[in-house]
A and B are shown apart, each in its own frame.
Chain A
Amino acid sequence: MSQRHADHAHDHTDVPSEPALRVKALESLLVDKGLVDPAALDVLVDTYEHKVGPRNGAQVVARAWVDPAYKQRLLADGTAALAELGFAGGQGEKLTVVENTPTVHNVIVCTLCSCYPWPVLGLPPTWYKSSAYRSRTVMDPRGVLRELGLDLPAEVEVRVWDSNAASRYLVLPERPPGTASLSEADLARLVTRDAMIGVAKVLSPRAGGGA
């Protein structure tokens, strides 16, 4: 829970922000008109708060690391390979998985808006939607990555994927060294949201990987 939420919980005299009031009023109006069932809204919020998120993508990545045939299917048709693990839904029609190697590093952005692979990563974080990330990543990906803590050697090819159309992208990070003995579930725990966007690498367990 964010600090902001924690503060709210303890401060009952807090005046709701103006957007909160306007959104509440609009919701009441749409319910009043019979257009919206508030219980359906609860389900939708709960789905994206709790049921969809980077843990889905981490399972996909771990499976690809341990199962070469799955990895092949994943790179050939991301949407179909996701469905094998039960992941589907909005923003997943044309899911393209791009593989990081010792010579190629991929990073994802949406310059026009906020396109993001919901079925595997959930909704995008605020910084991904920031004007600075959207504007800079296409022109200076190495600078953005450095700022986020990833300094790539000059000989590595950086590929930026601007998710402007129907395609959504997921980065398949490199499997870190020292993980040969780990189970698929343990591997999945090492995989971070940032590594699947391409702004970080997956660290080996001894280097402090995982959350």
Chain B
Amino acid sequence: MNGIHDMGGMQGLGTIGYQASEPMFQEPWEGRVFALIRAVPVGSLRPYIERIPAAEYLRMSYYERWYTAFLTRLLEQGVVTRAEVERGHADPAAGKATPAITPAVARELLFRTPREEQDIALTPRFHVGERVRGRNIHPTTHTRMPRYTRGRTGVVERLRGVFNLPDREPGAGEPTPQHVYLIRFPARALWGEDAPAHDALYIDMWEDYLESA
């Protein structure tokens, strides 16, 4: 969706606030949010972060957004009820679950690389070196196609493998596996003649985001 999160190329969004070093978590509660999300797997939270109204999104800190998305998802899936959240403890009538993530499993997560690539043989539509253009599409779902690539022409640099298209409602139907391509966009193709002639931007694009140019 054309949400506030799709920030690439926007201007006027304040200062970077660079710091040479900082604690991994600014406040202890941030670490707890991070860990809770890992301990209760409820699927991707990115679509829920992106639906936070723009004014609130900008006002919230990073981990407030994750907390908000996590709670929304827990409620939507019926993992917790609004009444339980307000009371702060479980409905006595509700059954007691067994934690999915034990300390031993949590220790293993450090060494487990989740695999999203799909072992499916598909014929790629585009080849390395081919000129391609970002399609003029405006998905209302989550998407990994930043709007600054729409209508812009680049070159296929590399094939990344087959991955499920992320542009879908959470939990909707069968996934759509397709090739992902690394595309090189010259800076001038994206930002006009004022951009330095040699500079470039590299980004992964699913097949549905591209057309031949």
Question: Which residues from chain A sit less than 8 Å from chain B, CB to CB?
Answer: 1-2, 4-5, 17, 19-20, 22-30, 32-37, 39-45, 47-49, 51-53, 79, 88-90, 92-94, 111-114, 119, 122-123, 125-127, 129-136, 138-139, 141-142, 144, 147-148, 154-162, 164-167, 194, 211
Contacts and interface: CB of A to CB of B under 8 A. Distances in A.
Contact of B49 (A113, A127, A133, A135): A113
Interface string B56-80: 0010011110010001000000011
Contacts, number: 274
A79 B114 CA distance: 12
A157 B117 contact: no
Contacts of A125: 19, 22
B8 to A, nearest CB: 3
A164 B103 CA distance: 31
Given A17-B27, A93-B115, A26 B101 contact: no
Interface residues of B, number: 92
B160 interface: yes
B71 A26 contact: yes
B12 to A, nearest CB: 9
Contacts of B189: none
A126 B19 contact: yes
A166 B116 contact: yes
Given A90-B109, A130-B16, A135-B13, 12 more contacts: A29-B85, A30-B40, A37-B101, A49-B24, A111-B8, A122-B24, A126-B26, A135-B7, A138-B9, A139-B9, A139-B191, A165-B203
B26 A44 contact: no
Contacts of B169: none
Interface of B: 5-11, 13-29, 31-36, 38-40, 46, 49, 58, 61-64, 67, 71, 79-80, 84-85, 88-90, 94, 96-103, 105-107, 109-117, 144-146, 148, 160-161, 163, 180, 182, 187, 190-191, 196, 198-206
Which residue, of A43, A113, A135, A144, has the highest number of chain B Cβ atoms within 10 A? A43
A162 B187 CA distance: 13
- Nearest 9 Cβ contacts at the A-B interface: A111-B8, A165-B204, A131-B13, A44-B35, A43-B106, A34-B96, A34-B97, A41-B35, A135-B7
A2 B19 CA distance: 12
A33 B34 contact: no
Contact of B67 (A23, A35, A111): A23
Contacts of A165: 144, 160, 163, 180, 203-206
A14 B122 CA distance: 59
Given A26-B85, A126-B62, A132 B14 contact: yes
A62 B14 CA distance: 36
Given A90-B113, A126-B17, A141 B106 contact: no
B99 A40 contact: yes
A114 B5 CA distance: 10
Contact of B117 (A26, A93, A111, A148): A93
B8 A29 contact: no
Nearest to A148: B18
Nearest to B204: A165
B110 A41 contact: no
A41 to B, nearest CB: 4
A22 to B, nearest CB: 7
Contacts of B29: 17, 19-20, 23-24
A131 to B, nearest CB: 4
A32 B90 contact: yes
B196 A25 contact: no
Given A4-B26, A19-B64, A23-B32, A41 B39 contact: yes
Contacts of B201: 138, 159-162
Contacts of A139: 8-9, 11, 148, 190-191
